[in-house]
Structure 1
Amino acid sequence: MYRAHLFPKEYYGNVFIPEPAGNLIKRVTLSEKDGEITAANAYEGKEFMTSTDERFRPVNAYTGPDGALYIVDIARGVIQHRGFLTYYLVKNIQDRKLETPFTLGRIYRIVPDGAKPKLTRLPKETERIPAMLTSDNGWVRDTAQRVLVERNDPKVVPDLQKLAATNASPQTRVQALWTLEGMNALTPAVITTALHDKVDKVRAAAVRMSDPATTLPELAKLTNDPSAEVRLHLAFKLSGDAEPAAGKALLTLLENGGPIFGEAAASGLSGHEIDYLDTLLKLPPTEDAKLAKSDVLSTLAGCVMKERNAAHVGQLLDLIGAQPAGGARQVAMLNGMAGKAPGKKSKGPTYFRPLKLASAPAAMATLQASKDGKIKALVARIDPQIVWSGKPGWVEPVVKPLTASEQALYEEGKTIYSSICIACHQPTGQGMAGLAPPLVDSEWVLGDPDKIIRIVTEGLSGPIDVKGNKWQLEMPGLPIFNDEQVAGILTYIRREWEHTANPVSPSFVTAVRAAIKDHTKPWSVDELRKPVDVKKAAAK
């Protein structure tokens, strides 16, 4: 983010995003409404900076001490990890000699025409540094803050407290507060003053730094603050606080906020969502409209399901069954429990990893007997997600233990996953929004192993449905891994995260690769749906 005034004023607060793969730097403007920030391209049909030099690889952008914009360029022809280089890429790299040189680097200093940058230096004396927090240059303020925190000299605390309370610049007041916080010198008195600052950004920052143990009465006064940002930070701060006054304040925030406030409340309740749901359900029916505004009942019910605690899910069903039939509360919690409905255009099976309850929930039978079409539809989506001994149509799966050789494959796959796959698909296997789909309960992971073998070895291109959600992917293949390594990766992801799918053998990977040896580009979903004749390939 550009935080100086050497550039024209319309550039202040803009974000400059280096994109090394595209040889460009994007500039976006930010806008904020009700505590949510959105970005928009600063230009139509062009970018802030582009290059035809395929070794232009910008990786960082900084505001400098002189107000100029500095760009760090690693100047490399190849930026992919070697594990993601396809045969096509390798050939192009060699043809254009992009693998060398690799000892270069460039730093660009960008200055507007006619501007005269002036370097600002921090004084050596610690007592003179707090004044640098008043600079209009973000780099200078940040550096002053860092140095003050590192030196941690108590002599400057009075100066910082004065800046936090009385300086004319809201930015300086906020930065002084964070400096005091970094020095462990933030007092309840200083925070209380900041909580009642006339500028909402200062109040929001003060809420983030507050300790409810010492400032809860002052925090509670902000539940009707005119700023959505202040109220949202307050919801995050108070969620999970066991004090009755905090719970009361959080209820007020939920009653006056939208769905994001429900999510904020849920964020601090990990493991205690069912208890807070019980508290909310004790409110009089006159509060239903306000609770619906934040969608908190649905959010908390969804959290209980994702927690996968059988006792809590049983409690949730009891709470749902106790609500007026077809009422707003019952429908909201059933919606959260059911989760997102599969898309109408989704093809192929949707995999559920059912949660086993201790016994048949009485509420389930009552809900299934409902004549309300909406209730019946939601219960039908919940039904395959929960099981119990003796449930009609459910046979408890027998999980075959891994043999010694299969366990060795699993351990090898775990090591490879932790070094290559984890960056996108995460340690939890839940993936990353907009980048990598979840592996947990994925039909592509737990289904026919030949499909996931083809994806891992040669990649995937185009749209794909995963657990009812559509993803637009360009996943590179990993041809550098041998058959045993591929088998290890797949055995790991088919047995990790409570998965119970069969392991994958190196010989099966060999057979699949033989069957697709003439296929040298990433697969599309339509191609993956066509069966591979593994037996025929193995016979050859």
Structure 2
Amino acid sequence: MKKYSYIFLLLLAVAGLYQCTTHKLLATYNNPPKADINSSPVVPPNESISKMKLEPGMAIKMIASEPLISTPVAITFDKNGRIWALEMEDYMPDTAGHGENVPNGKVVILTDKNKDGVMDERKVVIDSLVMPRAFCLVENGILVAEPPRLYYYDLVNDKAVKRTLVDAKYTDGGNVEHQPNGLYRALDNWIYNANSNKRYRKKGDQWLIEKAHEKGQWGISQDDQGRMYANDNSTNLQGDYFPPSLGLTNKNLRDPAGFNERTVADNRTFPIRPTPGVNRGYMKGVLDDSLRLVNFTAACGPMIYRGALFGPDYAFNAFVAEPSANLIKRDILTEKGNVVKGREAYHGREFLASVDERFRPVSLYDGPDGAIYVVDMYRGIIQHKTYLTPYLAGEIDKRKLTQPLSCGRLYKVYPEGKKLVSVTFPNDPLKLVALLGNPNGYVRDKAQQILVDGKPQQAIPALRQAMQSANPLLVTHALWTLEGFGVLQADEVLTLLKAQQWNIRMQALTASPEVINKSNYRQFADVLQQMVANNDTTAAPYVGYVTDAIQQFDKKTGDELLFSLAKKYPKNIFVSDAIVSNLQGREEAFQKEMLAYLPDTALTINKRIGRVVTAIEEAKLNSDPKLMAKYYPKGVAIFGTVCKTCHGEDGNGVASLAPPLNKSEIVNGNKTVMISILLKGLNGPVKIAGHVYKAPEIGGEMPGFADNKDFTDDDLAQVMNFVRRSWQNKGDKVTAKDVMNERKKLESRQKSFTMDELGMPVKEDPSIKTN
């Protein structure tokens, strides 16, 4: 670990003179100066807030800046209120990405020594990391994601004393923009990620790794009920209607309804400066007449606000960062039954925006004082070289955005005039239990994590007493803390299943699979059956998911529950997929039983079972992927790095990102068309198998790779051949010479293709129906 010299400490002291305290002149940062479109100089830290426009009634304070911190991408707090920051210093040193493999990433601790609300001490805990993406404090150590591996470091006095490999394939494929990140400790005591289908949990000295719902691109968050939220670069907010542990028991059930849903449809952005420096700024509709970004293109770092400090109007609000447009958007969420939807808080303005092009908010967090914490990477280049267009490279050069690379800033936002009080976490387990009912969601989460990490046995009676509280938040966290201790009892869950408040019943349903066993499953089956009989519509999908735990001991009793659900809710898509989640390996047999019971094939339940049966049959016709890897090794590698994240490992597309490659007319058709798209990109909508895919069902554009120097003509030919011969595709072979010839023809073309330009006009076939 590095020790800092007297000179460096002196620099920090000088830098402290520039740390910005609360900005009192609301008029200044609500009316920032106009941006110079031709220049984007580094704004000194003490001037940065004057460049911002903030929601009236809010205040913003800078709590750290360079040289105390450099290129931060993530932060977290420890129980003492210190800020741990992850620095990705090696990200895109220039437009070609030279030096990205230099091991200079760090985990650092920032401390406010004089208690003035501004960090003034820096300690390096781990250094020499290459492109670290995420971290998470667990017990007496820290998880650190350093592609492609996930490590756990044991810490003693803030020093790493031992490193353990947790997952050698944490980032299995994908490029920098499309690799797992987050490491978010959720309500159910598992650690979840964006852009990943795995979850993690420490049990003694062992690390458990299980399947999870894949979602999002950069950043992940949860609400008070433990439902997860994420987004991708062109999507404001996506989320789950159900807790993340449900819907995972049938590997053949792909994309179950109620998970990774479009939560907020509004994608409009309102920058306060011209933003020509976005990757597709040359395309019609990306920028408006004033050269401002029209819709999200780099949405990231979503956060569900749970801090309570902002007041009731901000309860169940989401905040989303957009670094390309130098702003943060606020969304208002509402819940109706199982469905969570939202809208932007205001049209024509944003919660926070800056005229400083280098203001790059990438991650948002709640904290121990209820404020919103903003991680500003503060740099010019944020687009990775994999997709960097010549247009954007020109914009970067025009305004000299490459240097410097060592800036970084942290802010916190809070209501003007409100006193900020950070909750301290005592060593007394009974006092920690009391904090499980705190109105600040961060405090509740942290108290639960401290208890689960230490498992003090004297806390168990208090936790059981808390389960009887009238405060549903206290009940919720007490329940999951007991689960984290491994002492949650079935009778406690059965009692909560009969609670009046829906939120408590929701948590009890979610926890039920953890306690159902051979001796008590009939008790749970009776309660679940009663919920169905009582027309508990909101609980119905949960009943379906929980039934899988009963199936393990008694298929007949389980099937009785499933048929009861089907009879009462035959048109409910959430219930239907919950039923299908029970059918691993017996989908076709159950389909016949269901058709005998409910013969109407137009019913949602029959259609949802049918789609899984069809998918299973279709998969049997797929080419052997190992054979394709043997023929096209480079193609397999590139597909895994660049294509898989959006098009799916099975080539069947990913919701909100990209359409299927499997059985695609483009893939199986004229190779010149596919080469053209791979070189110059494709702007949607796109028609596959009679269905027109367009935003928000998919992203608006696939980027081209003609200007990416990392891929040769042979590389691109190989990845096309892999795709054209994989799954059920039968396209003819592409050669490097084919790619070279087409590259020459298209040399002067800058914009992406449309389907019409490629001779494949988009017109939806009304006879093609999707479920």
Q: Give the equivalent residue in structure 2 for 1:503.
A: 733
Picking from 592, 608, 615, the partner of 1:299 is 608
Contact kept? 1:409, 1:487, Cα under 8 Å: no
Contact kept? 1:58, 1:74, Cα under 8 Å: yes
CA deviation profile, 1:330-365 (whole Å, cap 9, x unmatched): xxxxxxxxxxxxxxxxxxxxxxxxx69xxxxxxxxx
Once the two structures are superposed, the pairs formed by residues 265-304 of structure 1 within 5 Å of their partners are: 265-283=579-597, 295-304=604-613
Q: Secondary structure at the match of 1:222?
A: helix
Instruction: Give the drift of 1:503.
Output: 2.9
CA distance, structure 1, for counterparts of residue 679 and residue 376 of structure 2: 32
CA distance, structure 1, for counterparts of residue 648 and residue 324 of structure 2: 22
Unaligned runs of 5+ in 2: 1-303, 761-771
CA deviation profile, 1:93-142 (whole Å, cap 9, x unmatched): 11112222222222121111121111101102334311110111100000
Contact kept? 2:671, 2:732, Cα under 8 Å: no
The 1:60–1:227 alpha-carbon spacing in structure 2 relative to 1, beyond 3 Å, is farther
* 1:251 equivalent in alignment to 2:563: yes
Contact kept? 1:224, 1:253, Cα under 8 Å: no
Q: Give the TM-score, by structure 2 length.
A: 0.54
The 1:224–1:60 alpha-carbon spacing in structure 2 relative to 1, beyond 3 Å, is farther
Q: Which segment is superposed worse, 457-466 or 144-153?
A: 457-466
Q: Give the equivalent residue in structure 2 for 1:176.
A: 478
Instruction: Give the drift of 1:156.
Output: 1.5
Picking from 29, 37, 40, the partner of 2:343 is 40
Once the two structures are superposed, the pairs formed by residues 42-61 of structure 1 within 5 Å of their partners are: 42-61=345-364
Q: Which amino acid aligns with 2:694?
A: W
Instruction: Give the drift of 1:300.
Output: 0.9
Q: Give the equivalent residue in structure 2 for 1:457.
A: 679
The 1:126–1:59 alpha-carbon spacing in structure 2 relative to 1, beyond 3 Å, is same
CA distance, structure 2, for counterparts of residue 474 and residue 102 of structure 1: 29
Q: Give the equivalent residue in structure 2 for 1:475.
A: 702
Instruction: Give the drift of 1:84.
Output: 0.4
CA distance, structure 2, for counterparts of residue 460 and residue 423 of structure 1: 17
Q: Give the equivalent residue in structure 1 for 2:663.
A: 441
Q: Which amino acid aligns with 2:451?
A: L
Contact kept? 1:2, 1:11, Cα under 8 Å: yes
CA distance, structure 2, for counterparts of residue 430 and residue 202 of structure 1: 38
CA distance, structure 2, for counterparts of residue 407 and residue 210 of structure 1: 43
Q: Which amino acid aligns with 1:58?
A: P
Contact kept? 2:327, 2:361, Cα under 8 Å: yes
Contact kept? 1:76, 1:104, Cα under 8 Å: yes
Contact kept? 1:129, 1:144, Cα under 8 Å: yes
Picking from 522, 525, 533, the partner of 1:224 is 533
Q: Give the equivalent residue in structure 2 for 1:387.
A: none
Instruction: Give the drift of 1:408.
Output: 6.5
Q: Give the equivalent residue in structure 1 for 2:642.
A: 420
Unaligned runs of 5+ in 1: 312-354, 357-398, 531-540
Instruction: Give the drift of 1:227.
Output: 4.1
Q: Give the equivalent residue in structure 2 for 1:521.
A: 751
Instruction: Give the drift of 1:309.
Output: 6.4
Contact kept? 2:667, 2:729, Cα under 8 Å: no
Q: Secondary structure at the match of 2:717?
A: helix
CA distance, structure 2, for counterparts of residue 67 and residue 282 of structure 1: 56
Q: Which amino acid aligns with 2:507?
A: A
Contact kept? 1:239, 1:266, Cα under 8 Å: no
Structure with greater Cα Rg: 1
Instruction: Give the drift of 1:226.
Output: 4.9
Q: Give the equivalent residue in structure 1 for 2:504.
A: 202
Picking from 720, 732, 750, the partner of 1:490 is 720
Contact kept? 1:70, 1:109, Cα under 8 Å: yes
Q: Secondary structure at the match of 2:527?
A: helix
CA distance, structure 1, for counterparts of residue 674 and residue 456 of structure 2: 58
Once the two structures are superposed, the pairs formed by residues 21-170 of structure 1 within 5 Å of their partners are: 21-164=324-467, 166-170=468-472
Q: Secondary structure at the match of 2:305?
A: coil
Contact kept? 1:273, 1:304, Cα under 8 Å: yes
Contact kept? 1:59, 1:74, Cα under 8 Å: yes
Between the two proteins, the alignment pairs up a number of residues equal to 437
CA deviation profile, 1:293-334 (whole Å, cap 9, x unmatched): x611121112111111699xxxxxxxxxxxxxxxxxxxxxxx
Contact kept? 2:684, 2:693, Cα under 8 Å: no
The 1:137–1:227 alpha-carbon spacing in structure 2 relative to 1, beyond 3 Å, is farther
The 1:408–1:488 alpha-carbon spacing in structure 2 relative to 1, beyond 3 Å, is farther
CA distance, structure 2, for counterparts of residue 505 and residue 288 of structure 1: 52
Instruction: Give the drift of 1:87.
Output: 1.3
CA deviation profile, 1:490-515 (whole Å, cap 9, x unmatched): 11111222433233211111111122
Q: Secondary structure at the match of 1:196?
A: coil
Picking from 421, 432, 435, the partner of 2:654 is 432
CA distance, structure 1, for counterparts of residue 679 and residue 619 of structure 2: 38
**Over aligned residues, Cα RMSD in angstroms?**
2.6
Q: Secondary structure at the match of 2:411?
A: strand
Instruction: Give the drift of 1:288.
Output: 6.0
Instruction: Give the drift of 1:222.
Output: 1.9
Q: Which segment is superposed worse, 213-222 or 477-486?
A: 213-222
Percent of aligned pairs sharing the same letter: 33
Q: Secondary structure at the match of 2:495?
A: helix
Picking from 542, 546, 566, the partner of 1:233 is 542
Contact kept? 2:321, 2:327, Cα under 8 Å: yes
Q: Secondary structure at the match of 1:202?
A: helix
Q: Secondary structure at the match of 2:507?
A: helix
Q: Which amino acid aligns with 2:574?
A: I
Instruction: Give the drift of 1:461.
Output: 2.1
Q: Which amino acid aligns with 1:461?
A: N
Instruction: Give the drift of 1:55.
Output: 1.8
Q: Secondary structure at the match of 1:418?
A: helix
Q: Which amino acid aligns with 1:51?
A: S
CA distance, structure 1, for counterparts of residue 322 and residue 492 of structure 2: 42
The 1:462–1:425 alpha-carbon spacing in structure 2 relative to 1, beyond 3 Å, is closer
Instruction: Give the drift of 1:423.
Output: 2.2
Contact kept? 1:273, 1:303, Cα under 8 Å: yes
| Higher strand residue share | 2
CA distance, structure 1, for counterparts of residue 586 and residue 729 of structure 2: 26
Instruction: Give the drift of 1:36.
Output: 1.1
Instruction: Give the drift of 1:255.
Output: 2.3
CA distance, structure 1, for counterparts of residue 426 and residue 494 of structure 2: 31
The 1:190–1:484 alpha-carbon spacing in structure 2 relative to 1, beyond 3 Å, is same
Once the two structures are superposed, the pairs formed by residues 405-416 of structure 1 within 5 Å of their partners are: 410-416=632-638
Q: Give the equivalent residue in structure 2 for 1:323.
A: none
CA distance, structure 1, for counterparts of residue 537 and residue 417 of structure 2: 41
